[in-house]
Amino acid sequence: MNLIALNSDSAKNNLYPFSLTRSVLDIRLGIFTLREKWELNGYQLEINNDPGSLPANIILSSEMIGILKKNDFHSNLAFVKKIEYPWDIFRLNAEMIVQDFSILTKEKITNPISPSNKLIGAENIFIDDGAVIEHCTLNASTGPIYIGKNAEVMEGSLIRGPVALCENSVVKMGSKIYGEQTIGKNSIVGGEIKNSVIGDFSNKSHDGYLGDSVIGEWCNIGAGTSNSNIKNTANDVMIWNNSANKFIPVGLKCGLVMGDYSRCAINTSFNTGTMVGVSCNVFGSGLTPKYIPDFRWGFGESIYEFDNAIKAINNWKKLKHQSLSLTEIQNLKHIFEQSKQINK
C-alpha cells in the first residue's frame, strides 16, 4: 500500500451542502466514491488539514497516478481534475463512469444477461452478481452500463449508457435512464433521468424529470416532481454558492442540487439551478425559490424544528432498516444551530 496524505478541508466550503454531512472523499463520482478510487488503486489515505498536502477533492485518474509516481504532483495540480463545486459532480460523471467501469471489469466476466432483453453494444455491459434484468433495452453504444450486485431493472425500462446502477438499487418499470447517470447504493429510481448523480439510500421512484442534478443521500423526490435545467432564454444559469454568499453563473445547464436528508412533496416544480440544503421538507405551489437553506420547511418560510426533522429522518431510515447514529445526530444538531443564524 502507498501512503498518501490528503487535506480534507479542500474545497469544503464550495462543496456545500454535501460537505456538511460527509467528507469530500465520500462523494460518489462515476461508480466509486473519491475514497474508493484511491483505495482500489492501492493507496492508504492519511487525512489531515495541512495545506501542504494534496487536496482531497482531486480525482484519481491514470494521469494522476503517473504524476504521483514521478513525485511531482504539486507543480502539476493545475492540470489535475477536481470536484470544486457540486455541479462538477454531474459534469464529470460520464468520464468517471467510463474510467471506473474499466477498473471494475478488468479481467472479469459479466454474469449472463437474460435473452428477454434487447442489447446494443453488449461488450460494454457488465451485470454483477445477483442483479436481475428482464424485458429491458440496454444501449451501451454511447458508453458502458454497469448493473451492480443485487440490483434490479424492472421490465420495460430503457437505459442508455454511460450509466452506473450501484449495489441493491432498483430501476422501476418503464423508466427512461439517459446517459451520464449514477444511481447510488440502495436507491430506487423511476421516470425520466438524465446526467444526474443520486446518492445512496435515496428515492426518485416515480414519473417526473430529473436532469443535470445532484441528489444527496437519504433524499426522497415526490411523485410527479420535475426540475428545470435550462433557462427559457438560454442564458447562463445562476446558482447559490455558500462560500461566496451569493448566486454565481454555472453555465448553460444546471438543475437541482439537494443536500442529504432532504425531501420534496408530490408535483414539486424546481426552478433552474435550485440549491436545497440539508434536512429540508420542500413543498408549495409554483416554482421553488432558487435557494432553500438547511432545515427549512415548505419553500423556506420557516425553520424545520430539529426534533421533528430527526424523527422524520429516523422514520425514513427505518424503511431501509437503518437508524441515525449518535454522531450523525450531533452533526445535524450543529448544522441546525448554524442554520438558525441565516435570515429566512
Model pLDDT, residue 79: 73
pLDDT at 209: 98
Q: Are 125 and 145 in contact (CB under 8 A)?
A: yes
Query: What pLDDT does 76 receive?
Result: 67
Domains and CATH numbers, the chain: 2-84 (no CATH), 104-339 (2.160.10.10)
Residues 55, 6 contacting (CB under 8 angstroms): yes
Find residue 183's DSSP bridge partners.
Answer: 165, 198
Distance CA 106, CA 222 (A): 38
How much is the pTM?
0.95
- Residue 344: predicted pLDDT: 47
Return the closest-CA partner of residue 181 out of 133, 105, 192: 192
Q: How far apart are CA 45 and CA 59, in angstroms?
A: 14
All three cell numbers of 238:
445562476
Continuous H helices in the chain: 18-21, 34-40, 62-69, 87-105, 306-319, 326-339
CB 266 within 8 A of CB 223: yes
pLDDT tens for the 344 residues of the chain, in order:
688 899 988 788 899 999 999 999 999 999 999 999 999 999 999 999 888 888 999 999 877 887 787 776 666 676 788 999 999 999 999 999 999 999 999 989 999 999 999 999 999 999 999 999 999 999 999 999 999 999 999 999 999 999 999 999 999 999 999 989 999 999 999 999 999 999 999 999 999 999 999 999 999 999 999 999 999 999 999 999 999 999 999 999 999 999 999 999 999 999 999 999 999 999 999 999 999 999 999 999 899 999 999 999 999 999 999 999 999 999 999 999 999 887 54
